[in-house]
Amino acid sequence: MKVYLAGGITGLTEEEAFGWRKNITKALTPLGVKCLNPIKSDDFAKFSANGKFLSGDSVCYWRDKFDIKRADIVLVNLDTVKSFGTLVEIGWASAMGKLIILINKNKVTHPFVTTESIQVSSLEEAILFIKEMI
């Protein structure tokens, strides 16, 4: 099983953008789940200023779209989103028929974001749901 880790990057520090992804990966990898992380090892160095991520480039766009195609599940941490990229990823995942799990502590209710997803309120709840899918 492959899980794509969608969520905020632009405008966040490396820890804000990458920390929750590390925690999910650490919890799911021992179960045989491969986590597809849109943040690659040198992205922060290439796409940051003043300690925060800037927007990526067209390579990031196509790389992320390719990873969503490969994924079985798209896990979206909506609570980290400060830009548009994650919303586009939700649209791609929906159009590709992917299972979308949406971490939505802030209770966003817009139907373009919530209609096609299973909503949970925490990372822990998302991990439990994915464990049940294995």
- Helix, strand, coil shares, percent, the chain, to 5: 50, 20, 30
What pTM was estimated for this model as a whole?
0.88
Q: Structurally, how many domains does the chain consist of? A: 1
Give residue-wise pLDDT tens across range 8-22.
Answer: 888 888 888 889 999
The CATH number that applies at residue 123 is 3.40.50.450
Mean predicted confidence (pLDDT) in 24-44? 87
**CB–CB of 3/71 below 8 Å?**
yes
- Structural domain for 20, as ranges: 2-133
